[in-house]
Amino acid sequence: MIAVMLMAVPCFAGDLDGTWVVRDPRPDGTSRNTYLNLKQEGSLITGSIRVTQFFYKIKESTGGPDGFTVTGSMMDGHNERQVKYEGKLVGDELHVSTRRRPEEALTEMVAHRAPAGEGALPARIEPPPLHKVPDNGLAKTPPMGWNSWNKFAGRVDDAAVRGMADAMASNGMKQAGYQYINIDDTWEGMERDAQGNVTTNKKFPDMKALADYVHSKGLKIGIYSSPGPNTCAGYEGSYGHEEQDARTYAAWGIDYLKYDWCGARNLYTDEEMQAVYQEMGDALRNVGRPIVYSLCQYGRAEVWKWGAEVGGNAWRTTGDIRDSWDSMTKIGFAQNELAPWAKPGHWNDPDMLEIGNGGMNDVEYKTHISLWAILAAPLLAGNDLRDMSPGILEILTNREVIAVNQDKDGKQGRRIAKSGEQEIWARPLFGGAQAIGLFNGSGEAAKITLKWADVGMKSAPAHVRDLWRHSDLKTKGGEYSVEVPAHGVAMLRVRK
Ligand code: GLA
């Protein structure tokens, strides 16, 4: 008898049905939207939760309009990500709360009914058949410049970009070869205009004027977008507007595009990436302005094998770098196998520099740039160029190390020896020279010995230059030993 009564109680009317939006305003005038797309049948709630570009399918629910929880899940590569929301209908508002991170307190939000269609995943556009995008002839040596993300993330604005251009043009970086001032995510407006043109948000009032300013300093300017409907930070992507956006960039005077997979993951598989990236590669080729094309899809789908085919000048080979010794070395020392794919115009990109951001010491930052030089990686400074110590500026502008990075043969270096936490890498350079990095990964100073035979030399080479001490070394015999500080590097340029 009791059991029957209990079963009869949960009878809700489906009041939660529909799409609910939480608008989380940002200082740039846009908002970070969360959509709860709910279908309620009795005590079962199904549907999806969209947090910017991430779509989670609801897989568990309890309760109903008077108080419910829903758990959404999505696969991100091989990892499952989950979100959990608690909620309650209050009049015509849906009061919801979630933990943005497991360790954080609940964030409480109010959701309203969204206009029909808003927040829905757009219809899928079939990717084009594959072909080879003609080479744009750019980036014959790895691109050098600055990118806003590592230091500023969502706080980058017009004034900061101008400030970086001023700094780069006057502090010696431009003379050392740095050229691009690249705006990463969060410059975009929330919506396109009536003609479908991409718009900026209030942090970037006039992109053309900003590009003109950067050009007036003798520098170039870069921008960021996604092949998906949304970028990683939840801003407008180029999905379905590739040619139109390429034309807009050209009209603004943009010289470099970083194109970040992010929101495309909800529409396309990894197998379709090449075709999707080809679309923007073609669009950029067709606008009649030289624009460096930088692919950012975290090294998935063996991008090094097809990045050049889609017109890519560089392709990220890893997930995001962080400003820590562990992150930098985990990424940097894992690039060995990719060496054959780097060549003039087409580079492996182990992500932007963290030099000067404070999470490592100067010895470690020297290791960072030395390794990136040997890897023929793009050198995109990621710190605040207006405000850095002389030591950091010296690291970023060590011309002898930069010359290794910019070597015109464009061959990426490889690991030639490893013993415990010490490893030696060598990069072949123009004219038969070589750059050699002796890296000490240990937390204690260590003596590292290089056998000349390991770099194909029968005896000590005639020319040995220490690129951090800026001095020529006299060496004899079959090997060279040097004391390298904890987490440090000795970097040499040698020639017979
Ligand atoms: C991804 C990229 C980063 C940066 C952010 C911006 O995480 O890998 O380099 O562009 O998106 O949202």
For atom 5 of ligand 1, which residue has the closest CA?
A: 232
Ligand 1 pocket residue status of 156, Cβ below 6 Å: no
Ligand 1 pocket residue status of 354, Cβ below 6 Å: no
Instruction: Tokens 């043109």: give the residue.
Output: 197
- Out of 150, 232, 294, 317, mutate this one to test ligand 1's pocket (max ligand atoms within 8 Å of CB): namely 232
- Sequence length of the chain is 496
- pLDDT means per 10 residues, the chain with 496 residues, are 45 80 92 94 94 93 96 88 96 94 90 93 96 98 99 97 98 98 95 96 98 99 97 95 98 98 94 98 97 98 98 98 98 98 98 98 99 99 98 98 98 98 98 98 98 95 97 96 98 96
- Enumerate the active-site residues: 260, 320
Distance CA 24, CA 233 (A): 13
Distance 150 CA to ligand 1 centre (A): 9
Q: Which amino acid is at 199?
A: T
- Out of 53, 149, 188, mutate this one to test ligand 1's pocket (max ligand atoms within 8 Å of CB): namely 149
Ligand 1 pocket residue status of 379, Cβ below 6 Å: no
Nearest atom in ligand 1 to the alpha carbon of residue 319 is 8
3-class DSSP string for the chain: CHHHHHHHCCCCCCCCCEEEEEEEECCCCCEEEEEEEEEEECCEEEEEEEECCEEEEEEEEEEECCEEEEEEEEEECCEEEEEEEEEEEECCEEEEEECCCCCCCCEEEEEEECCCCCCCCCCCCCCCCCCCCCCCCCCCCCCEEEECHHHHHHHCCHHHHHHHHHHHHHCCHHHHCCCEEECCCCCECCCCCCCCCCCECCCCCCHHHHHHHHHHCCCEEEEEECCCCECCCCCECCCCCHHHHHHHHHHHCCCEEEEECHHHHHCCCHHHHHHHHHHHHHHHHHCCCCCEEEEECCCHHHHHHCCCCCCCCEEECCCCCCCCHHHHHHHHCCCHHHHHHCECCEEEECCCCCCCCCCCCHHHHHHHHHHHHHCCCCEEECCCCCCCCHHHHHHHCCHHHHHHHCCCCCCCCEEEEEECCEEEEEEECHHHCEEEEEEECCCCCEEEEEEHHHHCCCCCCCEEEECCCCEEECCCCCEEEEEECCCCEEEEEEEC
Distance CA 494, CA 404 (A): 11
Q: Which amino acid is at 71?
A: T
Distance 92 CA to ligand 1 centre (A): 37
For atom 11 of ligand 1, which residue has the closest CA?
A: 232
Distance 318 CA to ligand 1 centre (A): 11
- Out of 150, 320, 321, 380, mutate this one to test ligand 1's pocket (max ligand atoms within 8 Å of CB): namely 320
Residue 166 tokens read as 């001023």
Q: Which amino acid is at 262?
A: C
- CB neighbours of residue 54 within 10 Å: 20
Distance 265 CA to ligand 1 centre (A): 14
What lies within 8 Å, CB to CB, of 90 at 6+ separation is none
With beta carbons less than 8 A apart as the criterion, state whether 202 and 249 touch.
no
Gyration radius (Cα) of the chain, Å: 26
Distance 315 CA to ligand 1 centre (A): 13
For atom 3 of ligand 1, which residue has the closest CA?
A: 320
For atom 4 of ligand 1, which residue has the closest CA?
A: 149
For atom 1 of ligand 1, which residue has the closest CA?
A: 232
Ligand 1 pocket residue status of 149, Cβ below 6 Å: yes
- Out of 226, 260, 327, mutate this one to test ligand 1's pocket (max ligand atoms within 8 Å of CB): namely 260
